[in-house]
Amino acid sequence: MPEFTLVTGACGGLGSAFVRLLAERGEALFLTGRSETRLTALKKELLAAFPALTVEVCACDLTDEASRAALFAFADDRKMRFARLVYVAGVDTQKALEKYTAQKVVLQSRVNLEAACDLACGVFVRRGDFPEFLAVGSMSASTPMPYFALYSATKKGLEQLFVALHGEWKGRAKVTVVLPGGIPTREDIKENIRAHGWFGRVSALSPRTVAERSLRALARNRRKTVIGGWNKLLYALTRCVPTGIRLSFVSRMWSKTEKDAF
């Protein structure tokens, strides 16, 4: 039985880029997302392109504890062990906080942070020889972000969690969190990148490039990696700018658009 890479958000824009790259490397894949239909279609597509690939799919709503337990029950039934977790799932609602419903607050917090913690534990328990853990954070965690406040906060939490695990599992696992800037995946995100003009354009990288650089960072066991030269510079500059100025700048830029795809 091969050791599997569990990919969350496998059918999404960035998730499918990770899946493609891992499939090209012949990794056994355990793919999850909310839609059984989309997962089955993805599996079919992968097996058509890579007939020797081992692919398991299991639908899971990451906001639901029972659904997460069922995901691991599926793995346990098949005696699956894990080489890697690639945690890509994320909810990126962007609007004034008073426009959120209570349900949206819960949903975003669970997908972006709680489920990542739960799945990392589950994979670690069912680990292979020297497992690898990759979490997709965001440049949005580099500063508190008005109008993107909960997203930024949950991604900061995710970042702190994985950086801490890098220390906790030292010598037992590789653990990396990556911070990408804009990635033109969904239409609303493409529109958002356009709306941020020059600033949005220079920060954006294709899903494949982000996936490639992320897997490279993981192979090198980098604790935390900002993806892209411009984003690295921006990240460093952010540290030098007083919080008040950052808050005014982000308020001006991020109040111009809203996105709520979930």
Ligand X SMILES: NC(=O)c1ccc[n+]([C@@H]2O[C@H](COP(=O)([O-])OP(=O)(O)OC[C@H]3O[C@@H](n4cnc5c(N)ncnc54)[C@H](OP(=O)(O)O)[C@@H]3O)[C@@H](O)[C@H]2O)c1
Name the site residues for ligand X (rule: CB under 6 A): 9, 11-15, 33-35, 38, 60-63, 88-92, 111, 136, 138, 180, 182-183, 185-186, 189, 262
Closer residue to ligand X, CB minimum distance, 11 or 28: 11
Q: Strand, coil or helix: what is 134?
A: strand
Closer residue to ligand X, CB minimum distance, 36 or 130: 36
Closer residue to ligand X, CB minimum distance, 88 or 234: 88
Closer residue to ligand X, CB minimum distance, 2 or 209: 209
Nearest position to ligand X, beta carbon: 90
Minimum distance of ligand X from residue 187's CB (angstroms): 10
Minimum distance of ligand X from residue 172's CB (angstroms): 25
Minimum distance of ligand X from residue 62's CB (angstroms): 4
Pair 116, 158: CB distance under 8 Å: yes
Kind plus residue range of the DSSP H or E element containing 154: helix 149-168
Minimum distance of ligand X from residue 184's CB (angstroms): 7
Sheet holding 224-226, edge to edge: 55-57, 28-31, 3-8, 81-87, 127-136, 174-179, 224-226
Closer residue to ligand X, CB minimum distance, 80 or 210: 210
- Residue among 63, 157, 144, 158 nearest 108 (CA): 63
Minimum distance of ligand X from residue 251's CB (angstroms): 19
Closer residue to ligand X, CB minimum distance, 128 or 212: 212
Q: Strand, coil or helix: what is 259?
A: strand
The C-alpha atoms of residue 156 and residue 149 are separated, in whole angstroms, by: 11
| 234 secondary structure, DSSP code | H
Minimum distance of ligand X from residue 171's CB (angstroms): 28
Cβ-based neighbours of 95, under 8 Å, separated by 6 or more: 147, 258, 259, 260
Pair 79, 122: CB distance under 8 Å: no
